[in-house]
Structure 1
Amino acid sequence: MLDACTDHALEHGLPDRMGPLAAAAGTSTRMLVYHFGDRDTLLRAVLRRARERQLAVFGDLLRVRAGEAYPVTLQRAWDGISGAAGRPYLRIFGERREGAVDELWPGFRQVATTDWLAPLHEGLGGPGPATLALAVIRGLLADLDATGDTARTDAAFGHFVALLGVDQLG
């Protein structure tokens, strides 16, 4: 039931009412209330499940690979994170930045930032480069979300990766 609600939210965003989630799960609003208690508790569960999925997908994209220069890994990760497979996560969590995030998930903005520092730190060899890379990624994702200009943001990320120098980190 939760997975069906999460699938729906990733595709359509978080609804104002429980009805769309009930329909997506093939159940009734009454059953959702029975299992989750209320709308906000259900939405928190949906957000947490979506976050688990995002961490698994994006974490795999950002992990260090033996024999591969990390800038190459970063370029592939950018393609996955900013592409069609990553956009539902960016959309649903972007809504959390825009809305009342603290009501549904206190501390989400900090967690959503710091979760990505460890794989970047491992790949880039330090907290400074990891923080810089995360800032570039977050900034370009915000730009992409605001403008939809994939070609320009992809080119900008390519420039960033080129600045890292494949030979230096390989």
Structure 2
Amino acid sequence: MGRRPQPHIKERLLDACADHALAHGLPDRLEPLATATGTSARMLIYHFGTRDALLRAVLRRARQRQLDAFGGLLRARPDEPYTVTLDRAWTSITGLDGRPYLRMFGQLRESAGQQLWPDFRRAATTDWLGPLEDGLRSIGRPELATLVLAVIRGLLMDLDATGDTARTDRAFRDFLAAVEHLPSDDSSAAHRSPEATSRGEPQPTRRSGPPSPG
């Protein structure tokens, strides 16, 4: 009779593998993970089936940790402006707590990583839109979620390529300062003339986001 699956052991192994991968990067072999978990490659295969299945499980466990941690950072707080919340989130995402996730998921841009999680690039974008929309709703601008996410992703790519923390930090704070001075959605309605509104005349459509340069 074969051994019965032991879910608690599998979960413990998965957490230990995720810890190792976040600290050292996702390995392409089982041996580093076996050493980190104090078991053997054969036992990892027993619990997870194949090497790729284990690596996919490690990526998803690490991603869930990231979503839990950063989702909390992006949540609006009643005692502070949301731009302050975003500033704190940026500091954590780019700091010691966030770098292991950036390093790990940066690997998924490479061809080998994409095979492990082909849909990751789309998920890595859409996962954050909901939390950002909820947070930006606190200042009446949920439609800015795509713009804010695009700025964050772009600056993270810049930071990864250049390592220039001071410049990217300054750029993000300049962006937040611009967001603070944007009118809320209902302010444009407040500036309409009562006569035009009563006549049902079409009103100019206000563009979302800061004005484009030049």
Band the TM-score falls in, shorter-chain normalisation: over 0.9
**SS of equivalent to 1:100:** helix
Matched AA of 2:175: F
Counterpart among 10, 35, 38 of residue 22 in structure 2: 10
- The Cα shift of 1:117 comes to 0.5
Shift of 1:168: 6.2
Which of 116, 136, 152 is equivalent to 1:137? Answer: 152
What pairs up with 1:1-170 in 2 under 5 angstroms? 1-125=13-137, 126=141, 128-165=143-180
Name the SS of the counterpart of 2:96 in structure 1. coil
Contact 2:135-2:142 within 8 A present in 1 as well: no
Q: Distance in 1 between matches of 2:78 and 2:183?
A: 15
Q: Which runs of 5+ in 2 are unaligned?
A: 1-12, 185-214
Maintained 8 Å contact 2:21/2:27: yes
Kept after mapping to 1: 8 A contact 2:25/2:104: yes
Deviation at 1:66, TM superposition (A): 1.1
Partner Cα separation in structure 2 for residue 86 and residue 101 of structure 1: 19
2:82, 2:136 within 8 Å by CA — same for their partners in 1? yes
- CA displacement at 1:119 relative to structure 2: 1.3
**Structure 2 CA distance for partners of 1:152 and 1:78, relative to 1, 3 Å:** same
- From the superposition, tell whether residues 101 and 17 of structure 1 become closer, same or farther in structure 2 (CA, over 3 Å): closer
SS of structure 1 residue aligned to 2:26: coil
CA shift at 1:45, angstroms? 0.4
Structure 2: which amino acid aligns with 1:90?
L
C-alpha contact (below 8 Å) 1:70/1:166 kept by paired residues: no
The count of aligned residue pairs is 169
Q: State the secondary structure of the residue aligned to 1:17.
A: coil
Displacement after TM superposition at 1:166 (Å):
7.2
- 1:99 is displaced (CA, Å) by 3.0
Question: Following the alignment from structure 1 to structure 2, what is the Cα–Cα distance between the partners of residues 136 and 107?
Answer: 21
Q: Distance in 2 between matches of 1:68 and 1:98?
A: 39
RMSD: 1.6
Question: Greater CA radius of gyration, 1 or 2?
Answer: 2
Larger helix percent: 1
Structure 1 residue runs of 4+, over 4 Å off? 166-169
Q: State the TM-score, normalizing by the size of structure 1.
A: 0.94
Q: Secondary structure at the match of 1:115?
A: helix
- How far apart, CA to CA, are the structure 2 residues paired with 1:98 and 1:160? 30
* Aligned partners of 1:69 and 1:167 also within 8 Å: no
- Percent identity, aligned pairs only, is 67
